[in-house]
Amino acid sequence: MAIRKIVTVGDAILEKTCRPVTDFNDRLFILLDDMRDTLSAAHGAGLAGPQVGVLRRVALVMIEDESYLEIINPEIISKEGEQEGLEGCLSVPGQYGTVVRPQKVTVRYQDRQGREHQREAEGFTARAFCHEIDHLDGHLYTELALDMMTEEELEAGEAK
Instruction: Map out the domains of the chain with their CATH numbers.
Output: 12-156 (3.90.45.10)
Identity of residue 114: G
Task: Please count the other Cβ atoms lying within 10 Å of the Cβ belonging to residue 67.
Answer: 10
* 82 included as an active-site residue: no
**Interatomic CA distance for residues 37 and 25, integer angstroms:** 19
The tens place of each residue's pLDDT in the chain, 160 residues long, gives 799 999 999 999 999 999 999 999 999 999 999 999 999 999 999 999 999 999 999 999 999 999 999 999 999 999 999 999 999 999 999 999 999 999 999 999 999 999 999 999 999 999 999 999 999 999 999 999 999 998 888 788 755 4
Q: In terms of Cα–Cα distance, which of 24, 76, 23, 17 is closest to 49?
A: 17
The pLDDT value given to residue 156: 84
Query: Which of 66, 70, 84, 132 is flagged as catalytic?
Result: 132
